[in-house]
Amino acid sequence: PAIQDLVGQHWVITAGPTMEAIDPVRYISNHSSGKMGYALAAAAQARGAKVTLVSGPTNLDAPQGVQRLAIKSAEDMLAACRDAMATPADVFIGAAAVADFRMKDIAAQKMKKTGDSDEMQLTLVKNPDVIATLSQENAAKCMVGFAAETQDVIAYAKSKLQRKGLDLIIANDVSRTDIGFNNDENQVTVLSKDQQWTPPKEAKAALAVELVELITQYQSTQS
């Protein structure tokens, strides 16, 4: 068993996709499986942290000893995170792939094909940015985001670190098919405003253990 050095800490971790309803039978979502966020939750729990896992729809069981709040939409995720952070958080990690947009109006009835048109348009509106909102209104001592990018990975990740008011950002090249979304392995670069770490490509469970260690070390240099 791991050393219980995170006893007394509260970690709030988001995982999985969000699901934005179009009508009663359809939705907008993405390929996140939840594996990365669940692995982080398990790794923090193993060191004794109280972990709240705010999860979009996944096929995964909640890791043992972790409290899971199951949500669907980005708006639900923000509400659940606010609830979770009523118990002040030491660390927040946004591993979820939050949909950036939702339907302006969810159709009350199943939308019908119309006979005379081969096209249809949906009007979308921006979702709240969960992590950026939390870092402004009730930040954890250490705010950690992910950045899923398909090009200029490090540069875009750095700009998200700043824009979203984060302490650390974990850059994930999701153009690669051997890592990232739904894979069992991942490779990332962790960035603070002036430092950078690149753990090896490995199973998400092993990587999560290293990331929890890295975050814990970073915390200790800040306080």
Structure tokens that stand for 165 in this block: 């008011």
- Of 82, 48, 85, nearest in space to 65 by CA: 48
List CB contacts of 35: < 8 A, sequence separation 6 or more.
60, 182, 183, 184, 204
List the one residue from 10, 35, 50, 68 that touches ligand PMT (CB under 6 A): 35
Answer yes or no whether residue 160 interacts with ligand PMT by CB under 6 A: yes
Q: Per this entry, what is the length of the chain? A: 223
With beta carbons less than 8 A apart as the criterion, state whether 13 and 54 touch.
yes
Answer yes or no whether residue 172 interacts with ligand PMT by CB under 6 A: yes
Strands 101-103 and 10-15: unpaired
Asked if 172 is an active-site residue, the reply is no
**What are the binding residues for CTP?**
100, 110, 128-131, 146, 160, 164
List the one residue from 95, 103, 153, 190 that touches ligand PMT (CB under 6 A): 95
Contacts with ligand PMT, 107-136, as mask; x by CB under 6 A:
--------------------x-xxx-----
Residues with catalytic function: 30
Point out which residues bind ligand PMT (CB under 6 A): 14, 32-36, 74, 94-98, 100, 127, 129-131, 145-148, 160, 164, 172, 174, 180-182
